[in-house]
Structures are given as C-alpha cells and as structure tokens.
Amino acid sequence: MLAQFFVPHPLFLKGYQNVLDWMQIIYVFALLVGALSFLILHLDKISKKQKGWGYNLVAIAGLALMVFFGFYKGIQKGSPFLWIFDNLQVPMQSTMFSLLAFFVASAAYRGFRARNIQATILLIAGILVILGRVPLGEMLHSSIPQFATWVLNIPSMAARRGILIGVGLGSIATSLRIIVGIERTYLGK
C-alpha cells in the first residue's frame, strides 16, 4: 500500500486496486455479522419483553421490510424500497441533522461565556467573525469582514495546522506500532 504511492508502475496500482476490492468483499461478510448482531439484540429484547420492546419489533420489521422489497422489487427508481428510503429514512435523517442548529446555539452559549481573559478574547473574536460573515458586519464597519477573514486564515489556521501536524505524526506512529506488532490491543491481545 505504501509502495504504490511512490511507485507509479501499473503492477503496483493493480495490486493496490486488488487489495481495495478484497476489502469490499470482506466488508460484505462483516455486514452480515452486523445484521446478525442486530437481529440477536432485538429478538432477545422482544423475547424477554423488556421495557419498550415494541420499538425493537419496529426495528426488526423495518429490516425485514427493506430486505423483502429490495429483493422482490429491486432498488431502482419508483420501487417501494426507494420510496421508503426517500420518504421515511431521509426525512428522519434530516430531522436529526437539523437538531444540530439548536445544539450549536446551546454549545456556543456555554463556550462563549466570558469567565476569564481567554474566554473573553474568544467571545470577542467569535462575535466579530460571526458579524464578518453576514452583511450586517460590513454595514457596521467595512473592516469587520477583513478582520474575520484574517482571524480564520491566520491564527485559526495556524492552530489547526499545529493540531494536524500532531495528528499526522500520531497516525504514522500508531500505524507503525500496529505494523510491527507493538500495539496489539485492537486484536484483543
């Protein structure tokens, strides 16, 4: 995998592609394990009639229904499978995602409280960046958008890059520890 990054020979690229294909094949089998785990978990709760077992029944019914429609009618446009996906799954996902807006507000309220000097600087910088990204900022003062861009491109980017260098080196070191067998916890050892 590392060699193909440096060697542009088609043989290495083909080998790399083969590895990726095999990963997909293995992954399909892992998905079966996941589906089995899902079934066992929910069937167990239903059989024990645990609190809220009706929801487990809905989960199993949902899985069975999607599998049935997928195999019986296919997944092409106009199929029941795609209809359920577009009209149930997608709206539910969008609902969950829209919660993020409210959580950002509550997290910002907590994060921007001026408890000390650093928090106050964060609060001022945050307000100026918010103002700089909306037309109101430019109406108040022409330099607010420039300041917002400066904050994002210079200090914020410098901090991000500092973290990214650490993450990159940490990833390499962890990978090496795994490759040479120093770190084997993820294998259950």
Partner 1 sequence: MSVPPNYMCPSSASGGLTRWRNRHSFNKLFPLDKQVLFPTLLKNLSRRIVLKGKIHHLIFILTLIFIFHSPAFAIDQISWFDPQKTNLLIGIILTLIFIFGFILYAKKSKKLKIRSIPGLEALDEAVGRATEMGKPILFSSGLGKMERVATMASMNILGSVAEKIAEYNTPLLIPNYDPMVTTVAQEVVKESFTKAGHPESYKKENIYFVTQSQFGYVAAVDGIMLRERPATNLFLGTFEAESLILAETGNSIGALQIAGTDSTIQLSFFIVACDYTLIGEELFAASGYLTKNPLVLGSIKGQDFLKLIIGFLIVAGGILSTLGYNFLINFLGKG
- Positions touching partner 1 (CB under 8 A) are 2, 5-11, 13-14, 23, 27, 30-35, 37-38, 40-41, 44, 52, 89, 92-94, 96-97, 99-100, 103-104, 106-108, 110-111, 160, 163-167, 169-178, 182-183, 185-189
Taking residue 129's Cβ as centre, other Cβ atoms within 10 Å add up to: 19
Query: Residues of 161-183 as b/e, b for ≥16 C-beta within 10 angstroms?
Result: eeeeeeeeeeeeeeeeeeeeeee
- Select 14 or 141, whichever has its Cβ closest to partner 1: 14
Q: Closest distance between partner 1 and the C-beta of residue 138, in Å? A: 25
33 or 117: CB nearest partner 1: 33
| Cα–Cα dist 46/25, whole Å | 32
Q: Tokens 């294998």, residue?
A: 187
Copy the structure tokens of residue 174: 């962890």
Q: In the bound complex, what is the minimum distance in angstroms from residue 28's beta carbon to partner 1? A: 10
Min CB(77)–partner 1 separation in Å = 21
**Which residues neighbour 133 within 8 Å (Cβ) at sequence distance 6 or greater?**
145, 148
DSSP E strands, the chain: none
**Residue placing its CB nearer to partner 1 in the complex, 64 or 165:** 165
Nearer to partner 1, 134 or 165 (CB): 165
Q: How far is the CB of 175 from partner 1 (least distance, A)?
A: 6
CB of 11 to partner 1, least distance (A): 4
Q: Which residue has the tokens 């079934």?
A: 39
In the block, residue with structure tokens 């109406």: 139
Pick the closer one to partner 1 by CB: 44 or 136: 44
